[in-house]
Amino acid sequence: MRYAIVGTGAIGGYYGGMLSRAGHDVSFLLRSDYEYVRVHGLHIKSCNGDFTLPRVKAFRSTADIGPVDVVLVCIKTTGNHQLATLLPPLLHKDTLILLIQNGIGPEPDLQAIFPSANIAAGLAFICSAHESAGVINHQAYGHINIGNYSCTDSTLISNVIDNMCDAGIKAVSVDYKEARWKKTVWNMPFNGMTVALDTTTDRLLACRSTRCLIREMMLEVVGAARALGIDSLDETFADKMIADTIAMPPYLPSMKLDFDNRRPMEIDYLYTRPIAEARKAGFDMPRLAMLEAQLRFLQSQHT
């Protein structure tokens, strides 16, 4: 299968690089790194062993790539308005678009633009950073959960999962809605709170007041998910997330890195959208709505 990577950063560089190393046909869309990667290739520093791809298919525009079988969308959701123009050259009638992004709602929004597209969600559990031009630093984890949103051909998704597993990426098929909300249980409290209080996950959990608050926020997400019919989520999942995070090294979530580097934050898909979805189902998220307001304020002070 032909793959295209839209957004060759921390996420796209790693997953695209792994597929490419395994011999798959992978085309990379690049912006600022284009010249470097065209000449020097892509370097993946990885906790599982570094590797270099001296020659990769590097492109500046999706028109030069042409139609592919699978598109991995690995840009931040703050850039999703570009997908309406970026994607069409990559699509044939059966192309699978896999959105490896955070938050709630990017799939229905994309479907509204491409009504007949095959869309799936990729929930990546990975610590990875774009270190410099053409250099990706994969620090920990790396597995990916794939949830089918609107792909009518389930073998297409199985094939992608098989390709990934063959390439050394732990990929599994999961329920789309449950997977997105499960990841949101962690994302909503920690992304915003590390920004609002300029801190790290470990410090938030070391203070009794914020540890309780983080748990209350997680329970707001669990409550929202349950109001939306996802019965598998409950209090024990929140407690597991907190225990897992205490066991992790101090961590700066992606929104904190975005804020510190003066990039726009993913407030729309990580806060506004899930809060609105929950409200439609009659469930209120007062603490996370307050956090959203604080993030909007901090964002406005940057610009």
Q: 203, 240, 280, 302: which one contacts a second copy (CB under 8 A)?
A: 203
- Taking the least distance from each CB to a second copy, the nearer of 146 and 221 is 221
Binders of a second copy among residues 204 to 223 (CB under 8 A) are: 204, 207-210, 212-213, 216
Query: Is position 78 an interface residue for a second copy (rule: CB under 8 A)?
Result: no
Burial 141-178 (b: 16+ CB within 10 A, else e): ebebbbbbbbbeeeebbeebbebbeebebebebbebbb
In contact, 252 and 246? CB cutoff 8 Å: no
Query: Is position 76 an interface residue for a second copy (rule: CB under 8 A)?
Result: no
Query: Is position 246 an interface residue for a second copy (rule: CB under 8 A)?
Result: no
Query: Is position 293 an interface residue for a second copy (rule: CB under 8 A)?
Result: yes
Shortest distance, position 255 Cβ to a second copy, whole Å: 16
Q: 47, 197, 246, 281: which one contacts a second copy (CB under 8 A)?
A: 197
Query: Is position 297 an interface residue for a second copy (rule: CB under 8 A)?
Result: yes
Task: Name all contacts of 278-281 with Cβ < 8 Å and 24+ positions apart.
Answer: 278/223, 278/224, 278/227, 278/228, 281/224, 281/227, 281/228
- Taking the least distance from each CB to a second copy, the nearer of 15 and 271 is 271
Give the separation between CA 194 and CA 245, rounded to whole angstroms: 13
Give the separation between CA 257 and CA 128, rounded to whole angstroms: 12
Residue type, 260: D
Beta strands 25-29 and 171-174 are unpaired
Among all chains, which residue has been given the structure tokens 């897992």? 244
Query: Is position 298 an interface residue for a second copy (rule: CB under 8 A)?
Result: yes
Is residue 183 part of the annotated active site? The answer reads yes
User: Which member of 57, 76, 183, 256 is catalytic?
Assistant: 183
Q: How many CB atoms lie within 10 A of CB 66?
A: 13
Query: Is position 286 an interface residue for a second copy (rule: CB under 8 A)?
Result: yes
Q: What is the binding site for a second copy (CB under 8 A)?
A: 196-197, 199, 203-204, 207-210, 212-213, 216, 286-287, 290-294, 296-298, 300-301
Residues that are catalytic: 183
